Every structure is written in structure tokens, then in C-alpha cells.
């Protein structure tokens, strides 16, 4: 099978061209930046073992497995992250949360801002923040030791130094006070029809009760105990949850509550400022 034939077969099977190219490059042990090589070498002949490996990956992709799991990495905020089934596949939408966090830090005039990424998963948010604001002191927490193993691997490969804590939300962070807390929690309702398309990703990182707000209720209630006066709390949430989340912020004493949209114009994140009662 040639490169041209492989890409044609992928097209006939309904695979997106970019997915087929990435799978083929991975099979040929070439980087994801070598897509031009495929065009220039469309007559290159794959070995039998490469053909078998590619067809196996294509079947898995057709079954809905994220491309990041199949090739083992994902680009997020300019960082090349190791990604596998132990963690969520980082979404481009989540870069909205990072953008907002960086705006907060750049406006804060704090020399060494204390930042917490709650439920860090692959470490995507924490590492992106630290890479852009090296003076920040970033802690990445997750209840999954498997997820933290992935996040630590990413930090090591990127040569970025952050602190990791095994913690079910704030349970192991009782003595910490942060200037900024960011969180991309589970926020999908337990019977949401979109879950089938996400069946290859860790369910406990996606689903949060009947209405998708169980974890957001918990962390909004607990966050004030871990923020310094004037500290900022930012969360990602579902496309239709902004009003409910803003009400959770208000109920738990946050002020200056606002939301931000992603590049598609969908309200993706909500945040507020904690002002301790005197």
C-alpha cells in the first residue's frame, strides 16, 4: 500500500483527512509536522507491518477513539503534551480559560502569584500558565494518581517546574491560600446524549450528577476557604451553564462575576473575585 492509497482508503472509510495524515505519520514514525512529506512522497510504499498497524489505528479512530490517544500526544497552548486514556483529551475550548488566567496574572502585579489548577488531568492548564508566567508558583491537583503521572511526565518533558498534589478537589489543600484558582471540572449531565461520543475518555472526569453541576456546586462552596482576599476563581463549564454557575458564585460570596466566550462565541468560562467578610 502506498501513501496515496492509504489516504484514499481512509477517505473512503469516512476519516477526516487531517486524522488520516496524523495516523499515517505516526505509523511511519514521523512527526506531526511532516504533512508536506506525505504530499511529496505519495508513492512511498508502506511495509506489511506498517499497513496492518495503520489499519488498526484507523478502525479505532472510526470507533470514536480520540486521535490524541492513538498518536499519544496533543498540542495545547503551544505545548506538545503526552496524552492517553488516563486523562481527558485537552480541548481547544479550554484555551479560553488559560487566556483569562493569564490576563488575571498580568493585571495582578504579583511577583510570585500562587496559582492552583484544580483537577489538572494531563497538566495542560497548569503547564500553559507556568510556561507563560514563569514567576508564578503553580500547584496542580488531581484525585487520580494515574492523571498525575501523566501530568508529571509532561512537566518533565517540557522542563517546567510545578508542584503536584494528590487531592480530591480541596481535601489535601486545607492550609493553602491562592491568588488564582482555575478549574475545568466534570460538568456533563449523567444522561447527556453527547456522552456516547466521549465513551473512550475517563467518565469521572466528564460526568457530574443529573444536571452536570454537582462538582461545580462543591468547588464553588469550598473555593473561598482557599483564596486570599481579592483572589480570583475561574472555571470552565458547559455551553448552557453560565447562568447557573454565575448564581453559584454569587451564592458563595464572590463579587465581580463575569463570563467569557470561546472562539465560537459560546459562553465557556465564568469567574469571580473573593472578598473576605471583615
pLDDT at 109: 80
Burial of 120 (0-12, 13-18, 19+ CB in 10 A): buried
For 59, residues 6+ apart whose C-beta sits below 8 A from its C-beta are none
| Per-residue pLDDT tens digits for 230-265 | 999 999 999 999 999 999 999 999 999 999 999 889
> How distant, in Å, are the alpha carbons of 49, 53, 202 from that of 60?
17, 11, 17
pLDDT value of position 161:
97
**Ramachandran region, residue 160 (left: φ > 0; alpha: ψ -120 to 50; beta: rest):** beta
pLDDT at 278: 44
* pLDDT one-digit tens code per residue, 148-191: 999 999 999 999 999 999 999 999 997 679 999 999 999 999 99
- Residue 6 φ then ψ, to 5°: -65, -45
Q: Is 84 helix (H, G, I), strand (E, B) or coil?
A: coil
Asked if the 74-274 domain carries CATH number 3.40.50.150, the reply is yes
For residues 115 and 95, give the distance between their C-alpha atoms in angstroms, rounded to a whole number.
16
DSSP-assigned letters across all residues of 189-230:
-TT-GGGGGGTTS-GGGTB-SSSS-HHHHHHHHHGGGGEEEE
Structural domain spans, the chain: 3-63, 74-274
Alpha-carbon distance 20 to 23, whole Å? 5
Give the distance, in angstroms, between the CA of residue 255 and the centroid of all CA atoms in the same chain: 26
What letter does residue 25 receive in the DSSP assignment?
Answer: H
- The parts of the chain modelled with pLDDT lower than 70 are 175, 276-278
Contact 81, 98 (CB under 8 A): no
Distance separating alpha carbons of residues 185 and 58, to the nearest angstrom:
30
Q: Which pLDDT score, from 0 to 100, does residue 175 have?
A: 63
H helices of the chain, in order, are 3-12, 17-27, 35-40, 48-62, 67-71, 95-108, 124-132, 145-158, 214-222, 242-251
Amino acid at each position: 500500500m502506498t501513501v496515496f492509497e492509504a489516504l484514499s482508503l481512509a477517505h473512503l472509510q469516512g476519516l477526516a483527512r487531517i486524522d488520516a495524515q496524523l495516523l499515517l505519520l505516526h505509523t511511519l514514525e514521523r512527526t506531526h509536522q511532516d504533512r508536506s512529506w506525505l504530499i511529496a512522497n505519495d508513492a512511498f510504499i508502506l511495509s506489511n507491518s506498517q499497513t496492518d498497524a495503520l489499519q488498526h489505528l484507523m478502525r479505532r479512530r472510526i470507533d470514536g477513539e480520540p486521535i490524541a490517544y492513538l498518536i499519544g500526544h496533543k498540542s495545547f497552548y503551544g505545548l506538545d503534551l503526552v496524552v492517553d486514556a488516563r486523562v481527558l483529551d485537552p480541548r481547544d475550548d479550554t484555551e479560553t480559560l488559560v487566556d483569562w488566567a493569564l490576563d488575571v496574572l498580568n493585571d495582578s502585579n504579583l511577583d510570585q502569584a500562587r496559582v492552583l489548577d484544580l483537577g489538572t488531568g494531563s497538566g495542560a492548564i497548569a503547564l500553559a500558565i507556568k510556561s507563560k508566567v514563569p514567576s508564578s508558583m503553580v500547584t496542580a491537583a488531581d484525585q487520580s494518581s494515574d492523571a498525575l503521572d501523566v501530568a508529571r511526565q509532561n512537566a518533565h518533558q517540557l522542563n517546567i517546574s510545578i508542584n503536584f498534589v494528590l487531592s480530591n478537589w480541596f481535601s489535601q489543600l486545607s492550609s493553602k491560600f491562592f491568588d488564582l484558582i482555575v478549574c475545568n471540572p466534570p460538568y456533563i449531565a449523567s444522561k447527556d446524549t453527547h456522552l456516547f461520543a466521549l465513551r473512550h475518555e475517563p467518565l469521572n472526569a466528564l460526568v457530574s450528577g443529573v444536571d452536570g453541576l454537582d462538582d461545580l456546586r462543591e468547588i464553588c462552596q469550598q473555593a473561598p476557604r482557599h483564596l486570599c482576599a481579592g483572589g480570583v476563581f475561574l472555571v470552565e463549564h458547559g455551553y448552557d451553564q453560565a447562568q447557573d454557575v454565575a448564581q453559584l458564585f454569587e451564592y458563595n460570596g464572590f463579587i465581580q462575576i463575569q463570563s467569557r466566550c470561546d472562539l465560537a462565541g459560546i459562553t465557556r468560562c465564568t469567574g469571580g473575585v473573593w472578598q473576605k467578610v471583615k
